[in-house]
Structure 1
Amino acid sequence: MRKSTRALLAAALVLGVTAGPMSLAPAFAAPARPVAQAPTAPDLSAVIGGLPSKDTTAALVRVGGTEGAWQGSAGVHDLTTGRPADPGGRFRAGSVTKVFTAAVVLQLAGEGRIDLGRPARSYLPELIPAAYGGVTVRQLLNHTHGIPAAHLPGETVEEWYARRFVEHDPRDLVRDATARPREFAPGEKQHYLNIGYTIAGLIVERVTGDSYEHQVAARVLRPLGLKDTYFPGGSPRIEGRHNHGYQWMRLDDGTTGLRDVTVWGATDGWAAGDLISTTADLEQFTRALFGGRVVRGPLLEEMFTLPKVADFGSGAPAAYSVGLSMKKLGGREVWGKTGGRWGYNAAIASTRHGERTLVYSVNSTDAKGQEMNKVAMGVMLATFGAPSE
């Protein structure tokens, strides 16, 4: 396992680094700024120190729990001024959004307004065709539904960047996905995709008669005091304080370099991936969630129960539950969720009973690449330990 971890970290370094209009000059490097100590503080300082680098321009990290706390930031706010990264800056949380969506659905299930074992089509009969009539709400949330991804035009980051302001209607995404043949029978395999959570967001709207965004705000954001967390809707901008995100791509002059991708619409993600937040807010959310203050009673166990099926692609055991995923690190189970939007990687993670929690935002220059960003990987390993067999 140690060998594969080294290989993963090495692979994360393989990026196009041809000179472009933005450079990562040593003068921009900002030291890690720890504000509290924990057993992992020296390791974490080393992991995020020395930024910006070719694959990471900034990192914001919070470790908490009963085993100790540590906070640090490194890198730059932007490559033009080289100002130090803002530790309180907002960022795109990507698929961490799914945890909020799952929590709201489970709350509604606790109120008897959603039945996790009921077919999703019974809530949205005009949208989900009979071919997918056997897919349950629970299967939407644990990625065992068999519905393929909706088609989004473009094959390269340059093509997607050209369409970054196109707005997507979630209903259109569902219609496109459900018009395609299923990947497998519901409940037979697991395939991690956004589409299940897009449908789940629409079910929230149907049973409440309210917008998905308002329901999350009323049920999670306001009760927990998450004042810096919000949904951008059709706006491609991040409001308030935030560090810039960058992506390696082909530039207008034909060279390859870093382009500022901070302004980029996220309507293709919606209930699966458009949340904007801060590390402080996500740490507060993680503590509340794992402490049973967001989803209460037996329904919380849905988030810590892996379906007994194989992954659609690899054949490995399923790694995703309702809203979360699980990985054995440092000899114990670590539950959480990562997310990626262009220019931004984020994650929340915790041991089952909150002995150690982690939240990070890493400004990756290939945030949706095949390999995990090496700084993000290093932060995870320094916090929880090496992967267990």
Structure 2
Amino acid sequence: MKRRAFLALSTALAAAPTLAGPATAATNTTTTTTTRAGRLDVAALRRAVSGLPDDDATAALVRVGGTAGTWHGAGGVHDLASGRAADPHARFRAGSTTKVVTAATVLRLAAARRVDLDAPVQHYLPRLFRGTDFHRPISVRQLLNHTSGIRFADGWGDAFTDQYAHRFDVVAPAEAAASAVAKGPEFAPGARQEYLNINYTLLGLLIERLTGQAYADAATRLVLRPAGMRDTYFPGTDPTIHGPHNHGYQLVDGAFVDVTEWVQADRLAAGDMISTTADLERLLVALFRGRIVPARQLKEMFTVPAGIDGATMSAGLQRIELGGRTYWGKTGSRYGYSAALAATRNLSRTLVYSVNATDAKGEEMNPVAERIVMAAVGSA
């Protein structure tokens, strides 16, 4: 396995383009569109996406909205080989922002009385838990807010070389769920909050059980279409990004490995959505205004479980304190792509970005993403 990973990575590195410094003048491109600037610090936003590509990112797309004004901008390149300007309307791998759609789908089913949020998931997916050590009930709500106690699923390891070598391998969501559940609980349901993709992998299976449809079809019908998300879809086992898109890269030992094509079907409901900044902005606005989920169920998305130290996750969202304001949002990352959506509850400020980060799985926040957030929030 290690030998295959080494050979695959070596081949990619040999063919990968290399940048000599933080940025090259030939490919340093910024395009911006300003609309109703209001009190927005447009200069700071432009600076946030300028100077790309560099060692941190090859492109960035940004949309800021709200009562203080709106601004759309893009910087960087479509790909390192051609150096042409990044497409500001590009599709990208939206990562864990997919969880917002999954949570909204479950809450719509709850509003239709197809599922009880207080009922144990063992009731809805009995075969998955049969013969395991999960004797205490795990409520659907505990899956939504990451307090289930389920352990993470087995994967290919944390090293990029291992992940890259298996980037086209297909693991079904049911297989990933069975692997995680077989390990038994890590903690008692509701005892603490631990953010894990597996909670939403199970919610995807739950959606399929309740609707009799594939997850992608149910989520599209219940959330994407009502929100007007025309350029968003779920790739499944297809490794390509269809339609206009900017390439994603991982920086490895000074060289840029193209990671645009990738399969991660096991995380279908947890982080395998392809979208655009315009569509994620539509989702924010439609969701927060109650156009997707009825008010009673929508409260779940703005409620962090009480009595748990350090809890910040609600159903599909995270509470974020920035610039003296409370934002509700979600980040997501896949190799080559780092995305986020966030807004104040009253939509006085909204922010969506996609950064083609060269270390999207790094522990620290990407510097380009950090500049974008500070520029958008600092003028709120």
State the TM-score, normalized to the length of structure 2.
Answer: 0.91
Task: Show the 5 A alignment for 1:129-148.
Answer: 129=130, 131-132=133-134, 133-148=136-151
For residue 240 of structure 1, what is the aligned residue in structure 2? 243
For residue 68 of structure 2, what is the aligned residue in structure 1? 67
Contact 1:220 1:294 in 2 (8 A): yes
For residue 4 of structure 1, what is the aligned residue in structure 2? none
Contact 1:364 1:373 in 2 (8 A): yes
Give the C-alpha shift of residue 19 in structure 1. Answer: 11
Write the deviation string for residues 2-41 of structure 1: whole angstroms up to 9, x where unpaired: xxxxxxxxxxxxxxxx999423333110124233234121
Contact 1:339 1:346 in 2 (8 A): yes
- The separation in 1 between residues aligned to 2:163 and 2:108, in whole angstroms, is 35
Which of 343, 361, 366 is the equivalent residue of 1:350? 343
Structure 1 residue identity aligned to 2:57: T
Which of 154, 157, 160 is the equivalent residue of 1:157? 160
Structure 2 residue identity aligned to 1:337: K
Where 2:32 maps in the other structure, the secondary structure is: coil
Relative to structure 1, the CA distance from residue 161 to residue 309 in structure 2 (aligned partners, 3 Å threshold; closer, same or farther) is: farther
Relative to structure 1, the CA distance from residue 165 to residue 21 in structure 2 (aligned partners, 3 Å threshold; closer, same or farther) is: closer
- The separation in 2 between residues aligned to 1:21 and 1:303, in whole angstroms, is 42
For residue 265 of structure 1, what is the aligned residue in structure 2? 263
Where 1:161 maps in the other structure, the secondary structure is: helix
For residue 276 of structure 1, what is the aligned residue in structure 2? 274
Task: Show the 5 A alignment for 1:1-389.
Answer: 21-24=16-19, 25-36=24-35, 37-38=37-38, 39-129=40-130, 131-132=133-134, 133-249=136-252, 256-310=254-308, 317-385=310-378
- The separation in 2 between residues aligned to 1:230 and 1:198, in whole angstroms, is 17
- The separation in 1 between residues aligned to 2:193 and 2:179, in whole angstroms, is 20
Write the deviation string for residues 238-293 of structure 1: whole angstroms up to 9, x where unpaired: 0010000000225xxxxx41100000112132100000000111111111011111
- The separation in 2 between residues aligned to 1:20 and 1:382, in whole angstroms, is 36
Where 2:256 maps in the other structure, the secondary structure is: strand
- The separation in 2 between residues aligned to 1:205 and 1:230, in whole angstroms, is 17
Give the C-alpha shift of residue 153 in structure 1. Answer: 2.0
- The separation in 2 between residues aligned to 1:375 and 1:32, in whole angstroms, is 16
- The separation in 2 between residues aligned to 1:324 and 1:128, in whole angstroms, is 27
Give the C-alpha shift of residue 317 in structure 1. Answer: 1.6
Q: How many residues align?
A: 360
Where 2:152 maps in the other structure, the secondary structure is: coil
Contact 2:142 2:189 in 1 (8 A): yes
Structure 2 residue identity aligned to 1:261: V
- The separation in 1 between residues aligned to 2:273 and 2:248, in whole angstroms, is 15
Unmatched tracts of structure 1, length 5 or more: 1-17, 251-255, 311-315
Structure 2 residue identity aligned to 1:363: N
Give the C-alpha shift of residue 322 in structure 1. Answer: 0.5
Structure 1 residues 38-47 or 273-282, which shifts more?
A: 38-47
Where 2:128 maps in the other structure, the secondary structure is: coil
Where 2:247 maps in the other structure, the secondary structure is: coil
- The separation in 2 between residues aligned to 1:245 and 1:309, in whole angstroms, is 40
User: What is the alpha-carbon root mean square deviation over aligned residues?
Assistant: 1.8
Write the deviation string for residues 73-113 of structure 1: whole angstroms up to 9, x where unpaired: 00000000000000000000000000000000000000100
Give the C-alpha shift of residue 182 in structure 1. Answer: 1.6
Aligned-pair identity in percent equals 51
